[in-house]
Amino acid sequence: MISTETLDLRVDNSVLYATLDAPPLNLIGPELVRDLVNLVLYLESHDDISVVLFRSASSEFFSAHVDMYRASELGAEVSRLEPGAPLGELYRRISALNQVSIAAITGRVRGAGSEFVLACDMRFAGEHAMFGQPEIGLGAVPGAGALQHLTRLMGRGRALEALIGAEDFPADLAAQYGWINRVLPEDELPAFTSALAHRIARFPTAGIADAKRRVNALTLPDPDALHEDSQLFLAGLGRPETKARMQQLFAAGMQTDGALEAGFGAGLDDLAPSRL
């Protein structure tokens, strides 16, 4: 098994448990992206693993969002998969694995963290989990797959509500809209997702891979679409009004384990209205 800094890995009967452990917020930063790239490369060449079960070591944050201080460093890590590839390409490669990927979500998952779990084949959440795509509240669009996945999962109207409204969605509403498969009591989530993973791991791997390939052909976005979303995200970050709103959020405690990250959607309400 590979060595990783931000993922705790263990294998049990063809199920790989991958626990995100980059406290306090599990930000999508260069170390976590590097470890995910290494994991994808490992899985693409190892057919002894049937299922990957992603979990979080934190009960408060599955993954808050991208590390905005170090977002420019992610490209060098993702480019190990394909030169010039955006973050969405890493996530697409997770979706395209022969292995089944399951996300067991506790706490808050927003932005690029939400896009990570959207790339997984299945998503199950504890009853206190919270979901959000706050990017448009800052002045950019999600750049790593949320535009593509949420529209396919929710339909046009609900996707626009989630994306443009930029509010936090509690787990029960996220399930109702199709963001996740289902909600479970917090104390039942680990056992349920583990049992499902081991059930799938007992099935023939060729059948799993064939089913994923056909479903992916119908549902996954084209790589060019993900690249365009990434370019729009980067262009949005460069706008003066976005930079001004980011400064307000950092001043209010973004990327610290405080009230803003606990209620990011509500925090967007407190930003000064854009005049540009």
* Residues with a known catalytic role: 115, 135
CA dihedral 54, 60, 27, 267 (to 10 degrees): 140
Cα–Cα dist 16/33, whole Å: 18
Contact 140, 242 (CB under 8 A): yes
* Residues, the chain: 276
Rg of the Cα trace of the chain?
18
Contact 99, 52 (CB under 8 A): yes
Structure tokens that stand for 175 in this block: 């399930």
H or E segment at 82? none
Which residues, at least 6 apart from 89, have a Cβ–Cβ distance to it below 8 Å? 78, 81, 82, 223, 226, 227
Query: Pairing mode, if any, of strands 15-20 and 7-12?
Result: antiparallel
